[in-house]
Amino acid sequence: MNSQYAVAVHILSMISTFPDQSSSSDIADSVGTNPVVIRNVTGQLRRAGLLSTQRGVAGASLTRPPAQITLLDVYRAVNGEASVFRLHEHPHPQCPVGANIQATLERRFGQAQTAMEQELARATLADVMSDLALQDLAARAG
């Protein structure tokens, strides 16, 4: 998997934290990359219906409260339905193992993927915001 997912969560956190200071350039400074990278990921989040932007106007805004955006929503926005597991491509169709291994792996891997996604669905952007605040507090205290 690429790091777009992590960037996407970062972007949404920035928009939540600094609603009036979240141009692609502002966010890029916080993420540590180029504004174009931000605009590309923002585009995926927009197409997934998680935020809205306006061409020519700086910033973006969430389409619903952070508590109603799960980490699975964000995951789907950047990864779609793709699996984290990959199958091998040319198993031998005349071999009892080769002929059936892909269907078997697809099912077993799918169950593992589903378990992962259910866990992602349990956490929202609001939870992440809370994590960030608590960690920031701890960092300043320590």
Partner DNA sequence: CAGCGTGTAGGTACTTTACTTACATGTTGG
Partner DNA sequence: CCAACATGTAAGTAAAGTACCTACACGCTG
Binding site for DNA (CB under 7 A): 1-4, 23-25, 33-37, 39-40, 42-43, 46, 53-60, 86, 88-90
In this complex, which beta carbon is closest to DNA, that of residue 82 or of residue 134? 82
Q: Which does 36 bind (CB under 5 to 8 A by kind): a copy of itself, DNA, none?
A: DNA
Of the candidates 7, 9, 47, 5, the one whose C-alpha atom is nearest the C-alpha of residue 124 is: 9
Tokens for 59, please give them. Answer: 């910033």
CB atoms within 10 A of CB 86: 9
- Please name the residue that has the structure tokens 């934290």: 17
Q: Which does 57 bind (CB under 5 to 8 A by kind): DNA, a copy of itself, none?
A: DNA
Residues making contact with a copy of itself (CB under 8 A): 1-3, 5-7, 9-10, 13-14, 17, 29-33, 71, 84-92, 95-101, 103-105, 107-108, 111-120, 123, 127-128, 131-133, 135-136, 139
Q: Which does 71 bind (CB under 5 to 8 A by kind): a copy of itself, DNA, none?
A: a copy of itself
CB atoms within 10 A of CB 83: 12
Contact 58, 66 (CB under 8 A): no
- In sequence order, the 6+-apart residues with CB closer than 8 A to the CB of 123 are 70, 71
